[in-house]
Amino acid sequence: MGEVFEFPVRVYYEDTDAGGIVYNANYLKFMERARTEFLRAKGVEQDLLLQEGHAFVVSRTEIDFRSAARFNELLNVITQVIEVKRASLRFSQQILAADGRLVTQAMVQIACVSHPQMKPVAIPEKIKGVLLSAR
């Protein structure tokens, strides 16, 4: 596997259900934030990508829920690029609790599309180079 990027997330009350457990869809939000911050750390700003007529969109997600996270827990989202193709890339992501417990893990496939047409296009070469170096 490639370079590991870590992003901390605190579970807020708004992230939980009536039982104080993180609502399942919010794990996807935590992972989205981590991927965005990974790209930002690599010098890839998605708003500039949009201005250039490209966007990254999620095209597939496989997720396994292993244990529950609760209100006020500090989580760590681990992100790694595992595959880079002409017009797509794949991330492996895990969310770990502060005690090291695996909360959830996912494989997330991202497609590069033209914006606003939303048609698949090649990842711009400068960005592809950054992604390949992190793999």
Domain CATH number, residue 109: 3.10.129.10
Tell me the residue range of the domain where 91 lies: 2-130
**Is 26 among the domain residues?**
yes
Residue 96 lies in a domain: yes
In a domain, 62, yes or no: yes
In a domain, 47, yes or no: yes
**How many separate domains does the chain show?**
1
* Active-site residue set: 17
Cβ atoms 120, 66 nearer than 8 A: no
pLDDT band, very low/low/confident/very high, at 2 (cuts 50, 70, 90) = confident
135 in any annotated domain: no
pLDDT tens-digit profile of 78-133? 999 999 999 999 999 999 999 999 999 999 999 999 998 999 999 999 999 999 88
Q: Report residue 106 as tokens.
A: 């996912």
> Does a structural domain hold residue 78?
yes
